Structure 1
Amino acid sequence: MRWRLGEILQARGLTAYKLAGQLNGKVNRNSVYAIARGDTDRVDRATLGHLLSALGELTGQRYTVGDLLEYSPEEESAEAETAATLADHPDILDRVERLESGAVRMIPLEEVAAKYGVKL
C-alpha cells in the first residue's frame, strides 16, 4: 500500500504545510509531512478522520480513506518475495555490508576461469 496524500495535495495546489495549519494541532505537523511524503506505515483512525475532514474543508470535496491509500498487489508480492529471500539467506545483508565496506571482494568470472583453465 502507498499513501496518495502528497499527490492529492499537489493536484489541488495545496501543501502539507497548509493542511497541517488547517488541522490546527489535531495532528502533529511532522506526522502530516511524513504522510504526505509517504514515509509512514501506520496511522490511527482518528488521524485519518482529521486528515479527511481538513482536506474536505480546504477543497470543498469529500474524501475517503480509499482516496488517501492505494493498494498494489504487485508491491505486496515483491515485499513477500524479499522477505522470503531474507528468510532463506539470513546472512545476505551481512555479506552485502562486507562487500560494500571492502572487507571482501567479488572475483571476476574471467579471473576464476583463467585460474582453473576454463575457456569462456
Structure 2
Amino acid sequence: MHNFNFLRLPLFIALAVLITGCAGQIGDSSYDETGKASFYGSRHAGKRTASGERYSPSALTAAHRDLPFGTLVRVTNLKNDRSVVVRINDRGPFVRGRIIDVSRRAADAIGMTRSGVVPVRVQSLD
C-alpha cells in the first residue's frame, strides 16, 4: 500500500487550481475594455515602476491594474480615434473610473495631453 499523506491533498488541489487560473490570464488576447485614461506626470520620471523598470516619459508604456507585465495593448482615444500600442510595466491607475495610465509619449501620440483624461478603448494584442 502506498504511503500517501491525505493532509497534502488540499495543497495539491489548491496548487492545481492556481496554475489553471493563471494560465488563462497570461497572453490573454481577449481583453477589450472602455473607460478613462490618464497619463503620468513628469514628477514620476526616473522612479521605479511595479515591474522594477524606471519610468521614462519617452517610452511607450502604461500602468494597468490586472494585465501581466509585458502585455502589449492598443489604446484608442475615443474622442479623436487616434491609437498607440503600449507595453504594460506598472500597476494602476488607482483613481476610480480610470482603467489605464499611459506615459507622456503615449499621451502625446493619442492627443490627450491637453485634457489629461480621455475616454479610451484598451485592447490586448498578445
- The bucket for the TM-score relative to the shorter chain is under 0.3
Q: Which has the higher helix share?
A: 1
**TM-score under structure 2 normalisation?**
0.22
Structure index of larger Rg: 1
Per the normalisation by structure 1, the TM-score is: 0.22
Which of structures 1 and 2 has the larger relative contact order (alpha carbons within 8 angstroms, sep 6+)?
A: 2
More strand by proportion, 1 or 2?
2
